[in-house]
Structure formats: C-alpha cells, structure tokens
C-alpha cells in the first residue's frame, strides 16, 4: 500500500514516512501544496496524509480539489489547530479523518489502517444473501427478477445486513457506520430505515426478513413461505 505524505515540516514529513515504512507501507513525501496536489492527482496512492497549513495550495484546498474531481482516495488530515470548527471544515471538505499534531505513532497508524479499510468496505465482491442481491452502483435491490430502488441510507443499512450474512448487526454499529457523527441520528432513525427496508423486501417478494433481536440489533433471516 502506497501512501503520500504532504507536510512542509521536512523533519516531520520524513519521520511520518519512516513510521509508515516501518509498518510495511510504501511512503513518499511532498513538501509543499502544489507538489502534493500533483502527486495526489497521479492516482498512484492508496491514501494521503495531508497537513492543513502548507506553502502554496493549502490542505483544505487540496481536499476540495481532489473531491471535486471525484478522486475518493482516503485522506487523513494533520493540523496543529485544535478547534472544532477546523475539524468540521476538514471533514466537510471531504477528508476521512483528522489528527491534531503532535501525535503518537501508534494512534497515527491506527487511523491510517482505519481510513484505508474504509475504501475496502466500498469494494464489496459479493453483495448478495439468500434470494436477494444489491447492485452496488445503481443501489437496486433485486430478488428473482423483481427489483426496487433504495435510497442512500436504505442501501447503507441493507449493505451492512447483507455483509453480515445472517449475523447480528448491532443498532450502535448501524448508527456509527451509516449516520457517523450526524447528531440527528437516533435509534429511531435505524428503526425507521429498517421498517422501510422490510416493506421493500416484501415488495420484491424476498423470503428474507429483517429480524429485531431485543437489546442486540438486527439480522437477516430466511422465512419459510408456502
């Protein structure tokens, strides 16, 4: 896995590259914003560690530019700033995660693992379970030739249930993964979407149902239809 480190403090940039290389990543440093953006646009990297304050184009602008070009490379932003507003701006601009300098190598590596795993989640080989399948591009739910379109949140929720392949998905996991840091999300949101999905599973006449396990969460179960 090849990681680009965009950081103008050359000692820190080199130290981060060493931490990454010691953990068996390939890492390359760019010491200013323009070089960083050029290299990020090359498509040669699996993740980018990006400082906010840079000479030339700053980190926020690099994130915005990449995202506006539909470049979804995972980005971990680094900054000396600690205010919530800066954090929100970074994430709003399209960064995947955010770390305040200085940081411990171990936590840094955990964040890198986390953002690179997130891309892994998107590329799912087999999005089917029982008699249903999910189209990862069109977000259509299909069953025996019948299909129905899912909204983004419905798709995200069903994706988690299908990925679990019949195992229990906790309500908290659903909320964390589908709603993330959205303060509006509550257990009621999860229940509402599960209820929409039950109707859609019924619509395509699937013999799967979403079972609620009290205190545990949800899972897909086969029903016996005569």
Is the four-CA dihedral 66, 64, 58, 119 of positive or negative sign?
A: negative
x/- site string to Ca ion, residues 187 to 216, per CB under 5 A?
Answer: ------------------------------
x/- binding map, residues 125-154, to Ca ion, per CB under 5 A? ------------------------------
Q: How far is the CB of 140 from Ca ion (least distance, A)?
A: 45
Q: How far is the CB of 156 from Ca ion (least distance, A)?
A: 35
- CB nearer Ca ion, residue 53 or residue 127: 53
Nearer to Ca ion, 53 or 185 (CB): 53
Least gap, CB of 188 to Ca ion (angstroms): 43
H/E stretch holding 157: helix 152-163
53 binds Ca ion, rule: CB under 5 A: yes
Closer by beta carbon to Ca ion, 55 or else 202: 55
Give the rounded distance of the alpha carbon of 13 from its chain centre.
25
Which residues inside 2-21 make contact with Ca ion, applying CB under 5 A? Answer: 8
Angle between helices 187-203 and 152-163 (to 10 degrees): 80
Element (H, E) at 218: strand 217-222
Q: Which of 3, 29, 51, 204 contacts Ca ion by CB under 5 A?
A: 51
Q: Which residues pair with 99 in a beta bridge?
A: 78
What are the phi and psi torsion angles at 169 (to 5°)? -110, 125
Shorter beta-carbon distance to Ca ion: residue 6 or 220: 6
- Containing H/E element for 158? helix 152-163
Output DSSP code: residue 169. Answer: B
What is the β-pairing status of strands 146-149 and 140-143? Answer: antiparallel
Taking the complex as a whole, how short is the minimal distance between the CB of residue 60 and Ca ion, in angstroms? 12
Q: Does 86 bind Ca ion (CB under 5 A)?
A: no
To which residue do tokens 């994706």 refer?
Answer: 159
| Residue 80 or 192 with smaller CB distance to Ca ion | 80
Residues touching Ca ion, count (CB under 5 A):
3
Output 59 or 217, the one with its CB closest to Ca ion.
Answer: 59
The position carrying tokens 């980018």 is 48
Contact call for residue 96 and Ca ion (CB under 5 A): no
Q: Could you give the CA distance from residue 207 to residue 225 in angstroms, rounded to a whole number?
A: 7
Shortest separation between residue 10's beta carbon and Ca ion, angstroms: 10
H/E element holding 38?
helix 33-41
Site residues for Ca ion per CB under 5 A: 8, 51, 53
């Amino acid at each position: 896995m090849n990681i680009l480190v965009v950081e103008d403090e050359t000692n820190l940039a080199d130290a981060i590259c060493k931490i990454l290389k010691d953990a068996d990543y390939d890492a390359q440093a760019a010491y200013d914003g323009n070089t960083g953006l050029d290299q990020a646009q090359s498509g040669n990297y699996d993740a980018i560690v990006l400082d906010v304050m840079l000479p030339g184009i700053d980190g926020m602008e690099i994130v915005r530019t990449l995202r506006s070009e539909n470049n979804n490379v995972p980005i971990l932003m680094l900054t000396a700033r600690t205010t919530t507003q800066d954090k929100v701006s970074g994430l709003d601009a399209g960064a995947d995660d955010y770390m305040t300098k200085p940081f411990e190598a171990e936590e840094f590596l955990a964040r890198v693992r986390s953002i690179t795993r997130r891309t892994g989640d998107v590329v799912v080989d087999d999005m089917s379970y029982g008699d249903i399948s999910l189209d990862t591009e069109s977000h259509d739910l299909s069953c025996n030739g019948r299909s129905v379109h899912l909204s983004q949140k419905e798709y995200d929720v069903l994706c988690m249930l299908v990925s679990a392949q019949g195992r229990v998905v906790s309500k908290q996991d659903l909320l964390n993964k589908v709603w993330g840091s959205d303060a509006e999300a509550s257990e009621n949101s999860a229940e509402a979407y599960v209820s929409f999905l039950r109707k859609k599973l019924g619509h395509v006449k699937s013999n799967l149902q979403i079972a609620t396990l009290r205190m545990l969460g949800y899972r897909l179960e086969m029903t016996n239809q005569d």
